[in-house]
Amino acid sequence: MLDKVKRNGNIATLIAGEIGFNNINDLERANTLSKCDLLTEMVKEFDELQGIMGMHYALKQGEKEEVAKAIYEHYLPKTADDELPQTDIGSILALSDKLDTVISFLSIGEKPKGASDPFAVRRAAIGIVRILVEKGIDIDLKKLLKEIEKNAKKSEILAFAKINSNWETPFDENVIPEVLEFIKGRFISYMKDKGYSTDIINAVVSTDDYSLYNLYLKIKTIQQFKKSEDFNDVMTVFKRVGKIIPEKFESSFNQTLLGKDEEKQLYKQYLTTKENFENDIKNKDYKKALESLLKLKPYIDEFFDNVMVMVKDENIKNNRLSLLKMINDTFKKIADFTKITT
């Protein structure tokens, strides 16, 4: 249990750094005391009181109220519809505790099968999803997991999973994709349960964004945007651009190879749109980001009406395809629109 507390503390410190939380002393204190009540006779007799008794014992011993409350909150949510942690420290510790659980058991191949979840790994992942989404916590999970793995290598605690003295497995970077996929699976189920369209969910989660909160905002925005008249224009533009680009196409863009006015105008508008789009993305204003992309439509229409892409000159052809790919890649920062049904 001491090993887990130490691992939780390491993860909590990394999370705090990611979200700019500075009260590290109280965070560390709450983590240190988080599992102490498991040794008491009260919790041994009534295990549903874990965390609750820890909070009361901490208050009795004169600990700060936020520290004591975090001891209780770090177990939350206990079920899919349970309350969430209300304090920042409680939220960070709840995330670190649940991440450690998912990492540990997936590292030793103990992935839940079917309805069975003997080690509450699925429940932990659902808790991670709910805290990140419903508390509006913007964390790149892929980046965080890489930091956890790097931190684990430096730590004296090598075993991320210790079922018994003969079964120890360190957290390996090869487990990161599996952890991400597992948590993403719980996120997809969560969003479906909230009534969001499967095609929109799949279109958004297929991007390279590993912040569940960002993904949630994008899905929510597209679902609302799909009801507008502008949505069909977005789909038309994306499909028109994406359809012509060969699979796995890679080539560098050279502005000096732009010859026709329509491709020059498209590139000029793309640069303006890209700057506005990236500001919108930074501000998490995904509706405005989609509206920014829409401004490309008349220029793209002019391009396709007046410019032949697949010319014999390979340099010119590849350069025009590269221009379209840059536009296509910009769209994909929100979603892969080919996965959305109209």
Which pLDDT band, with edges at 50, 70 and 90, does 11 fall under?
very high
Residue 118 has phi, psi (to 5 degrees) of -60, -30
Q: Is the pLDDT of residue 156 over 60?
A: no
pLDDT at 229: 85
Q: How far is CA 100 from CA 2, 10, 171, in A?
A: 13, 10, 10
Q: Once rounded to an integer, what is the mean pLDDT over residues 52-64?
A: 96
Which pLDDT band, with edges at 50, 70 and 90, does 170 fall under?
low
Q: In the chain, pLDDT over 90 holds for what percent of residues?
A: 77
Which is more confident, 114 or 186? 186
CATH topology of domain 2-195: Hypothetical protein af1432 (1.10.3210)
**CB-CB neighbours of 60 under 10 Å:** 9
Q: Is the pLDDT of residue 167 over 80?
A: no
Residue 85 has phi, psi (to 5 degrees) of -60, 140
Tokens, residue 76: 């939350």
CATH superfamily for domain 222-339: Isoleucyl-tRNA Synthetase; Domain 1 (1.10.730.10)
Q: Is the pLDDT of residue 159 over 70?
A: no
State the chain's mean pLDDT as an integer. Answer: 91
Q: Is the pLDDT of residue 158 over 50?
A: no
Q: Is the pLDDT of residue 307 over 80?
A: yes
Which is more confident, 151 or 267? 267
Q: Once rounded to an integer, what is the mean pLDDT over residues 181-187?
A: 97
Rounded CA gap, 58 and 34, in Å?
Answer: 10
pLDDT at 174: 83
pLDDT at 111: 87
Contact 202, 339 (CB under 8 A): yes
Residue 168 has phi, psi (to 5 degrees) of -125, 135
Beta partners for 168?
162
Q: Is the pLDDT of residue 239 over 90?
A: no
pLDDT at 163: 46
- pLDDT tens column, 95-149: 999 999 999 889 888 888 888 888 899 999 999 999 999 999 999 999 999 998 8
Q: Is the pLDDT of residue 164 over 70?
A: no
pLDDT at 169: 54
Domain boundaries in the chain? 2-195, 222-339
